[in-house]
């Protein structure tokens, strides 16, 4: 049976990773180690398979992993932030993203502005001296959060909260223009 190369996109992603990173990646994203073929009802001949087309966020991850570029991945389901250089995992931490009523938007963004400290205000909050703030989409930012320790639980108004020491590391590592991929 011939398999269409696009149906192996998950394998393509994993080929370039070391064994230890593969184990971590598979664990974090709960990926099955299988090929992606069409259901039997859609396979009319030995050479016909369904083409799998990744969504925009998945395609961005695949493209970034093929580069040598630094980029940041935010996994909302796992409440994890991962820093990458191409396909090489370099840093990770538990985060706190937006609550159900104030969700963190998914998509592909880039760091727009970096501020060592910022004041953040909303209708029900006013927080001075927010450390290591990196805005990536309008008022949405990755930043340190000194006012809570609920990392691993969505509690923010949509920003990505990190422990301040972890935010410092990321702030020093990332530059304006660093891609930020936020996925469910």
DSSP per residue, 38-89: --GGG--STT--PPP---HHHHHHHHHHTS--EEEEEETTTTEEEEEETTEE
Q: What is the pLDDT of residue 127?
A: 97
Q: How far is CA 13 from the centre of its chain?
A: 15
Q: What is the pLDDT of residue 48?
A: 55
Q: What is the pLDDT of residue 54?
A: 86
For domain 54-183, is the CATH number 2.60.40.10?
Answer: no
Any idea where the domains of the chain sit in the sequence? Answer: 1-53, 54-183
Backbone angles phi, psi at 45, to 5 degrees: -140, 170
For the residues 159-177, what does the mean pLDDT come to?
A: 98
Q: What is the pLDDT of residue 115?
A: 98
Model pTM above 0.85: no
Which letter does DSSP use for residue 147 in this model?
Answer: S
At residue 107, the 3 state secondary structure works out as: strand
pLDDT digits (tens, 9 = 90+) for 79-128: 999 999 999 999 999 999 999 999 999 999 999 999 999 999 999 999 99
Q: What is the pLDDT of residue 49?
A: 57
What pairs with residue 179 in β-bridges?
Answer: 110
How do beta strands 70-75 and 80-85 pair?
A: antiparallel
At residue 123, the 3 state secondary structure works out as: coil
Residue 9 has pLDDT above 90, yes or no: no
pLDDT digits (tens, 9 = 90+) for 22-68: 344 334 444 443 333 333 334 444 555 567 788 999 999 999 999 99
pLDDT digits (tens, 9 = 90+) for 117-161: 999 999 999 999 999 999 999 999 999 999 999 999 999 999 999
Query: Distance between CA atoms of 18 and 69, rounded to whole angstroms?
Result: 18
Q: Of 49, 27, 169, 159, whose CA–CA distance to 98 is shortest?
A: 159
């Amino acid at each position: 049976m011939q398999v269409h190369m696009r149906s192996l996109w998950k394998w393509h992603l994993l080929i370039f990773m070391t064994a230890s990173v593969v184990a971590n990646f598979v664990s974090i994203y709960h990926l099955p180690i299988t090929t992606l073929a069409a259901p039997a009802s859609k396979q009319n001949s030995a050479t016909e398979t369904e083409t799998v087309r990744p969504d925009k966020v998945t395609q961005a991850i695949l493209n970034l992993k093929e580069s040598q570029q630094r980029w940041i991945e935010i996994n909302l389901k796992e409440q994890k932030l991962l820093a990458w250089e191409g396909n090489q995992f370099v840093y990770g931490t538990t985060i706190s993203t937006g609550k159900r009523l104030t969700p963190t938007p998914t998509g592909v963004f880039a760091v727009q502005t970096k501020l060592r400290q910022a004041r953040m205000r909303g209708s029900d909050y006013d927080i001075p001296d927010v450390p290591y703030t990196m805005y990536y989409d309008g008022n949405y930012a990755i930043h340190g959060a000194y006012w809570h320790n609920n990392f691993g639980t969505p509690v923010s108004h949509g920003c990505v909260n990190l422990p301040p020491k972890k935010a410092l590391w990321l702030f020093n590592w990332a530059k304006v223009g660093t891609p930020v991929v936020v996925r469910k």
